[in-house]
Each structure stands twice: as C-alpha cells, then as structure tokens.
C-alpha cells in the first residue's frame, strides 16, 4: 500500500471545481433508465448512451472521475478501452465493486450489500484494467422500527472491509452509506439515522485501520423523505447536513461527495450550493448519477442526431453543479 498514491488520488477526485459522475448503473438499473426513453438496453445501447456522456467536449473541467460498471470498464470507445479513453481526457476511471443490496435475513424491509467474497482478486483485475478508485454502496431504509442496529452495524462492517481491501491495492474507496429518501419521515429523523449510520461507519473504518486520508465519503444529504408533508428547504437541508457531518466525519477525510438519491437536478444543485455556503474542513462535492444525467438522457432518447444537444445538456448541468460546489463559505 502506498499512502501517497491513495492521498493523491483522493485529492484529485475532489479537486477544486470538480466532482464525480456516477455512471455505474447495474444491468437492471440501466435497463430501467433506457426503457423510460424507449430504448432497449443491451451492451451496445448502454455503451452508446455512456459514450455520449463521456465524449462530451470540455466536461473534464467539471468531472474528475467516472464510476463505471463492470460491463463498461471492459468496453472501448473508438478502439480505446474506456478507462484509457477517460484517462486521456484527464478523468480518473473508477469501478463499482459491490454486488448489490439484497434482503437481509430476519430483518424485513432492510438490506445488506453483497460482494466481499473474492473482492481482493476482483480488485486486482480492475486495477489491471485501469481503475483508480472504487465504490461500494450500502443502503439504510427509514421506516417503522427501522433501521435496526444490526442492519447499520452489518453494513458498516462490510463497508470497512471493502475499504481496506481497496487501499491494500492503492485503489481509493468511495464509502457510500446511503440513507434512503423513500418514506414520509422528516428532516430530523433523517438527521438522527444519518448520524448513527456515519458514526458506525467511522468506528468500523477505524477498527479496520483504514487510511482516512485515502478515502472519499459518499453520503446522502440530510433531507426530508420523498413523501414527507413537511419539505425542508435548501438552507435547512444544508444546515442539518453540515452540522451532522461536523459531529461525525473526521477532518482527515479529504472529501465528501454527495449522491443525488432521487432529488431533481435543480434541487441537487441548489442544496449543494447551500451546503458549500456553510462549508467544512473537507471538500464538499458531488458524485451524482441521476442529477447529472437526467436531462441528457431525456434529450438523447437513443438518437444519433440528438447527441450534440444531449451533450450540451450534460455539459450545462455539470457546469451548474460545479459552480454550486465552488461557492465559498460566507
């Protein structure tokens, strides 16, 4: 393990004005996204869509890294393997390494993420293929009587085991404990669950001797549930988010990159701007999937002639999110 490589990569992932594009939708998720625009998902159409995003001129001003899915990291753009293509643009290739969240035995409504078995060997292969960082997503649902301590602890343990296996091979782990927006809970409940989850995650990371300077945290914002009748506004979301993180996220962590988690592109942009107005000891940036892609996806609709306008939509959104991330604290 080379701590300097880890630190340098982690810092590059959250370099000023930049954040990450999450384009690591699983086979099932990309199928859902493409279906919505009337395109049948297969390896070729998946690549056509992602190629439209990756080849957007100048987007590297705003995108430091792209999280790829196993299918994509093995594909090529104009005869060049995707990781090498991205690197030639100055974008770091990353890879989703978890195998998805499945129902947790004995805990109805809760999930545990799989993928630790054989992970060391898979990471070695991804490193060969050019991956500089990785992602593992754990999901924590809020509901009546959930999340349970067992669910939080088990997912935190897996995240920590994943993180140190990545670091062993100089791959920066993105540690993603996502408290879901689904449900009618309010901001205070999300804050309570997020705090508890992050506490557990950092306790496990410390127990497993993870290098905090060589990782990136990818959390949810502290936000009211999608079905909540009391919708928190951006300044409240920002205040609760930064307040919570200051309590539980060590300052050694170089960057926090938020997921968008079902927020609209405008909401995810506005909330990030408000968060940066408050600021903290870490870089506060983005690793958005839907919020960066939605407008480009619905403009593209699978048509070759729509590529330029879809790329413009992607560029414009990436620029707006980058501007939000660059606002200085006041």
Cβ–Cβ < 8 Å for 73, 65: no
The whole-angstrom separation of Cα 317 and Cα 296 is 9
DSSP label of 175: E
Taking each helix axis from N to C end, the angle separating 290-300 and 265-278, rounded to the nearest 10 degrees, works out to 150
If one asks whether residue 322 binds ligand 13P (CB under 6 A), the answer comes out as: no
If one asks whether residue 289 binds ligand 13P (CB under 6 A), the answer comes out as: yes
- Active-site option among 25, 110, 176, 270: 176
Active site residue 277: no
Q: Given candidates 94, 183, 261, 265, which one binds ligand 13P under the rule CB under 6 A?
A: 261
If one asks whether residue 69 binds ligand 13P (CB under 6 A), the answer comes out as: no
Size of the site for ligand 13P (CB under 6 A): 10
Q: Given candidates 92, 112, 215, 291, which one binds ligand 13P under the rule CB under 6 A?
A: 291
Token reading at 238: 């920002």
Residue 5 or 26: the one with the smaller Cβ distance to ligand 13P is: 26
If one asks whether residue 22 binds ligand 13P (CB under 6 A), the answer comes out as: yes
Residue 100 or 280: the one with the smaller Cβ distance to ligand 13P is: 100
Asked if the peptide bond before residue 147 counts as cis, ω within 30 degrees of 0, the response is yes
Binding mask 107-146 for ligand 13P (x = CB under 6 A): ------------------------------x---------
Three-state SS for 24? coil
CA neighbor of 89 nearest in space, from 115, 105, 66: 66
The whole-angstrom separation of Cα 305 and Cα 142 is 43
If one asks whether residue 162 binds ligand 13P (CB under 6 A), the answer comes out as: no
Report the residue number whose CB is nearest to ligand 13P. Answer: 289
How far from the centroid of its chain's Cα atoms is residue 327's Cα?
21
| Interacting residue ranges for ligand 13P, rule: CB under 6 A | 22, 137, 176, 259-261, 288-291
């Amino acid at each position: 393990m080379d701590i300097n490589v880890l630190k340098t990569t982690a810092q590059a992932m959250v370099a000023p004005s930049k954040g990450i594009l999450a384009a690591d939708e699983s086979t099932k998720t990309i199928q859902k996204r493409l279906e919505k625009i009337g395109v049948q998902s297969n390896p070729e159409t998946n690549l056509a869509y992602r190629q439209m995003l990756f080849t957007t001129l100048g987007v590297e001003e705003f995108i430091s890294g792209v999280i790829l899915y196993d299918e994509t990291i093995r594909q090529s753009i104009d005869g060049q393997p995707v990781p090498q293509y991205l690197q030639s643009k100055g974008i770091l290739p990353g890879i989703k390494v978890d195998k998805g969240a499945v129902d947790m035995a004995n805990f109805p409504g809760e999930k545990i993420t799989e993928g630790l078995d054989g992970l060391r060997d898979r990471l070695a292969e991804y490193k060969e293929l050019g991956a500089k960082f990785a992602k593992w997503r754990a999901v924590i649902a809020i509901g009546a009587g959930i999340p349970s301590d067992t669910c939080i602890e088990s997912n935190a343990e897996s995240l920590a085991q994943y993180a140190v296996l990545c670091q062993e091979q100089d791959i920066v782990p993105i540690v993603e404990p996502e408290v879901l927006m689904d449900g009618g809970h309010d901001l205070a409940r999300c804050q309570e669950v997020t705090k508890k989850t992050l506490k557990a995650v950092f306790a496990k990371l410390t127990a497993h001797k993870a290098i905090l300077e060589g990782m990136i945290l990818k959390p949810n914002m502290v936000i009211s549930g999608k079905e909540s009748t009391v919708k928190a506004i951006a300044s409240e979301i920002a205040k609760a988010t930064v307040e919570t993180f200051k309590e539980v996220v060590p300052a050694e962590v170089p960057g926090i990159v938020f997921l968008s988690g079902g927020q609209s592109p405008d909401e995810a942009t506005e909330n990030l701007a408000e968060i940066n107005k408050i600021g903290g000891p870490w870089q506060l940036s983005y690793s958005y999937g839907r919020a960066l892609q939605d407008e480009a996806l619905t403009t593209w609709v699978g048509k070759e002639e729509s590529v330029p306008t879809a790329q413009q939509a992607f560029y414009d959104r990436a620029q707006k999110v980058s501007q939000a991330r660059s606002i200085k604290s006041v």
